Every structure is written in C-alpha cells, then in structure tokens.
Chain A
Amino acid sequence: MWRGFLLTMLLAVLASPGTGQDSDRREIESKLVALEKVGKLQAIQLKDLKMLNEVLDENFILVDQDGLLLNKAQILAYVQRATSMQYFASEMAVRLHGSTAILTDEYRLNGILAGTRIEQRGRFIDTWIEREGKCWPSPVYR
C-alpha cells in the first residue's frame, strides 16, 4: 500500500510542469533517482512485480548482458523466476532534456536464478519519458 502511495507521489512530482529553475530541476532529478531506486531496483530485489508493472511502460525494452533484447513481459518473467536478486547501484546521474530524462549508473547484481549464481557488474542507461507517468528504460550495459 505504502509503495503505491509513494509511487503516486513521485509520479505526481514528475508530471508537474517545471519552471526551468535550478531548484525545480534538482528536485525532479532527485525524485527520478528515488523512482529509479524504489520503483525499479528495489522492486526487482523484492520481486515486486506489481510495482514493476506500474513503473515500466508497455513498450519497455532492455538489452541484457548477452546482447539479447528483452521486452517487459520477459523481464517480469525473469524477475519472477529468480530465487534472489540483490542490486547495488552507485554514481547515479540524471540529465534532463525537457520531458525526457537520461539516468546513468554503475551497478552490481548478485543473485540466484534456476540454481545458478549470477554475478554481474556494469553500467546502465535508462531513458525516462514523462508520459502518463510511465518510463521507458533502455538497456543495461556492461
């Protein structure tokens, strides 16, 4: 319940028209970082498929470590199949381009999938688009 409320609040801030001032810009950037951490990374960690389904746009795509293109349904299935997933993110940076934001980050992912230990380290770029509060993240890069 609280996650739904938090998500609604974050989306409301993102949807509000910016005035172009630095403080507004910083506020949007920090809210986007929060949305990325809670709405995406934490949701993956907690296997919160409902939250992921809310945050990710129907057109969501991701390029995985092997260069395969995955759609939203495939990502949700992947998260559901995982026994455990721990995401460690650092150095998040946001660049705003009007109603679009580019978020970059370094990450480390530890988990267990189908009895196999996963260890990944890399960098990702997410594209967030202000469109009915949904995002359009792009790929995970090594």
Chain B
Amino acid sequence: MRVICSIILLGCSPILLLHAQQTDAAASGTIRSLEREWVDAQSRNNNRALNLILDNSVVYVEYGHLVSKADYLLRIKHQDPSTDEIVMEPITVRVFGSTAIVTGSYRETQRKAGAHTVTRWRFVDTWAYKKYGWVLIAAGSTPVRD
C-alpha cells in the first residue's frame, strides 16, 4: 500500500508542479496588467481605479518621503495629466505565494513653462494577494543617475 501511495504521489507531483507554475504565471500576468492599469489610472486622474489598486495601508515613497494613500490620491486628483507622461520599460515579476515583487524602470517626462525634463526611474513594487485579489502594499522609485 505504501508503495502504491508513493507511486501515486510521484505520479501527481509533476501535475502539482505544473499547476503551481501555471498559478504563478497567471499571477504574474495579472500583476503586469495591474502595473499598466496603475500608470493608466494615474495619467487619467482616475482615483476610483487607483483606490482599488492600492491597499489602504500602502507604503509609498515619493522623492524620499512617505506618502499615505489619501495624500497620493489627493495629489493625483489635482494633477494636470498633460504635464506628466510615463513610459514603462520592461519589468520583472517574481511571485512568492501570495506576495509578488516587481522590479523595473520607467521614463518620466515632465513639462513645465515650455520646457521638459526626462528622468529615468528604477522601481520596486510589492503586491499582496488579499480577499478580493492583488493589491499594492509597497512602492517606491529612485532616479537613475547616468
């Protein structure tokens, strides 16, 4: 009986492994979409979408300052979308069960008084799977110096 159980378990393990990989792949795909939605929502001042993407206790670091979800949403609400453009570069998603770490970079173009500046940022975001899906629990970026 023990031999049979072992054989069954051995037979099942590749299936379980495949299932786990598919789950991670699916999670990775979802998080990539959410990253795009975040940028899109920010550029359209869509606070309703941002409210769903960001966890209530999200830790967000902007220019070295800790920003709460409420402060971030308030800033986005009053931001002129035409002054700020973000172009995402390739990202990497690593899934650890119900947590995912995203690393990547993006280029931000800011327009002010007829002039524009381009800054390249490196970021790391942390996502957690909660009751209603993946939410952003920590995020921050650092300017890349040439």
A: residues with CB less than 8 A from B are 59, 61, 63-69, 95, 97-100, 102, 104, 122-123, 125, 127, 129, 131, 136, 138-142
Known A-B contacts A67-B121, A139-B142; A100 and B126 likewise in contact (beta carbons under 8 Å)? yes
CB distance from B125 to the nearest CB of A (A): 8
CB pair B64 A129 closer than 8 Å: no
A residues less than 8 Å from B128 (CB atoms): 97-98, 100
Asked if B99 is at the interface of the complex by the 8 Å CB criterion, the answer is: yes
Residue of A nearest to B57 (CB): A95
Q: Which of B8-16, B29-37, B40-48, B90-98 contacts A (4 or more CB under 8 A)?
A: B90-98
CB distance from B127 to the nearest CB of A (A): 10
Residue of A nearest to B120 (CB): A67
CB distance from A75 to the nearest CB of B (A): 14
B residues less than 8 Å from A142 (CB atoms): 64, 142
CB distance from A131 to the nearest CB of B (A): 6
CB pair B124 A66 closer than 8 Å: no
Residue of B nearest to A64 (CB): B142
Known A-B contacts A67-B121, A142-B64; A127 and B138 likewise in contact (beta carbons under 8 Å)? yes
Contact mask B101-133 → A, CB, 8 Å, 1/0? 101010000000000000011111010101000
CA gap between A116 and B66 in the complex, in Å: 30
B: residues with CB less than 8 A from A are 55, 57, 59, 61, 64-66, 94, 96-99, 101, 103, 105, 120-124, 126, 128, 130, 137-138, 140-145
Known A-B contacts A98-B128, A141-B140; A127 and B99 likewise in contact (beta carbons under 8 Å)? yes
Interface of B: prevailing SS: strand
B residues less than 8 Å from A136 (CB atoms): 96, 101
CB pair B98 A98 closer than 8 Å: yes
B residues less than 8 Å from A123 (CB atoms): 61, 64-66
Residue of B nearest to A95 (CB): B57
Taking A69-B103, A129-B99, A131-B96 as known contacts, 5 extra A-B pairs with beta carbons closer than 8 A to each other, sorted by chain A number, are: A59-B94, A63-B142, A95-B59, A97-B99, A125-B59
Can you report 30 residue pairs joining A to B where beta carbons are below 8 Å apart? A63-B142, A66-B144, A66-B145, A67-B120, A67-B121, A68-B144, A95-B137, A97-B55, A97-B99, A98-B98, A98-B128, A98-B130, A99-B97, A99-B98, A100-B99, A102-B59, A104-B59, A104-B66, A122-B64, A123-B61, A123-B65, A131-B97, A136-B96, A136-B101, A138-B140, A139-B124, A139-B140, A139-B142, A140-B142, A141-B61
